[in-house]
A and B are shown apart, each in its own frame.
Chain A
């Protein structure tokens, strides 16, 4: 089932007098349980693609649909089935890991006891249970990404948008992060990740490239070829 659908989406950057196309008529469909990776160099529009896909930024043209409904004009898309993990560390670096996850839920009205239990479960789910009592700024790249994923999972997303999941992560720990994302797709969560490192494409169901706002590659899941059936003779 198509969970996320971008149809001829364009986005411009209008800073000052200069205008630049960040996304140019991008079409992309992502199914439930699919891992789609987009590779592109710096300033190619990777982060913009994820932000538009998550409804954080509106497109200037085209449509973004999530679970069949257009995101345009709807507020709070991230809280309604879409999780977003940006690269680097979560906000509030001076705070504790558990506090970071608690705040996300308390703001949504979840009772403290329940929020604490859910936070610990989420950290355990991403292999970061030991990070619960640590301070955010003390985490290394891999730990910070796990915590960011745990925080996004608290929203019980059907789609996870992940920006640069292995940037700042040691070579030896990169596969574990990618394996974690793959394991989430086994649970039915769709993952759309953007990366400037070819390692980030490893294990993806589909790998696409983004350059100067143009997306190339298989825009929708590859379907099984249609085979004409022939009536058996005799």
Chain B
């Protein structure tokens, strides 16, 4: 496991440097925030999840602007909505400036009779950066969970318990509205749906288990709290 990690990281040194310069949270958050102060153009765009979601589409296959707008909406749907199509073009600029993608010319036969439009494909650096960004999500998720726990803990125990009840109801409602992973169809689209549904299920289950734990801890803080097991 360790040796694999070492090999993987060393092969991505160039990509990591680029990404760190762009303010992406890889490694310690403090280091990332130092780099985030850079005023280079495109830095903000590279922090946007839209940019990385777009890079994923280009990793999947080379494409051009308008097609990417359509694929973006089709692939991500409500999970990541565009405020406008121009977001895609801004993100393309940012990715290209960082050499994570590059323009290329269609061959003469394919391009014949068509209006020339810039096509984009991922570079080796972009491929590496995309992998790193995916892995870095674990930090984001952890930070989100930690932040929620800290914010909840600011409340008095009784108030926190009331919020926790409502939070639990929201989780349960999410779970009842989520189809089982087996409902996904066949083929690659079915596999993709199953991955998403199973991820959602596991996340909700983990939240529900966490809520149970927090409730017990908070109840213990209440004055003259009876032992719930008695």
Contacts and interface: CB of A to CB of B under 8 A. Distances in A.
Interface stretch (B20-28, B126-134, B149-157, B167-175): B167-175
A81 interface: no
A216 B168 CA distance: 9
A21 B205 contact: no
B227 to A, nearest CB: 10
A204 interface: yes
B137 to A, nearest CB: 21
A203 B215 contact: no
Contacts of A21: 228-230
A186 interface: no
A174 B182 contact: yes
Contacts of B194: 171
Interface string A80-111: 00000000000000000000000000000000
B176 A207 contact: yes
A75 interface: no
A171 B181 contact: yes
Contacts of A207: 172-173, 175-176
A208 interface: yes
Interface in A195-211: 197-199, 201-209, 211
B209 interface: yes
Interface in A8-67: 19-21, 24, 37, 39, 41
B208 A37 contact: no
A176 interface: yes
A197 B176 CA distance: 12
Contact of B182 (A20, A24, A176, A213): A176
A160 B125 CA distance: 58
Interface of A: 19-21, 24, 37, 39, 41, 166, 170-176, 178, 197-199, 201-209, 211-214, 216-218
Interface of B: 165, 168-169, 172-173, 175-176, 178-183, 194, 198, 201-202, 204-205, 208-209, 211-212, 215-216, 228-230
20 contacts: A20-B229, A41-B209, A166-B180, A171-B180, A171-B182, A174-B180, A174-B182, A198-B202, A198-B204, A199-B201, A203-B176, A205-B176, A208-B172, A209-B208, A209-B211, A211-B215, A212-B228, A212-B229, A216-B165, A218-B169
| A-B interface, 8 closest residue pairs, ranked by CB to CB distance from nearest | A175-B180, A175-B182, A207-B172, A201-B175, A207-B176, A198-B205, A175-B183, A204-B176
Given A171-B194, A198-B204, A202-B179, 20 more contacts: A21-B228, A37-B176, A39-B208, A41-B212, A170-B182, A171-B180, A171-B182, A172-B181, A174-B180, A198-B208, A202-B176, A204-B176, A206-B176, A209-B208, A209-B211, A209-B212, A211-B212, A211-B215, A216-B165, A216-B169
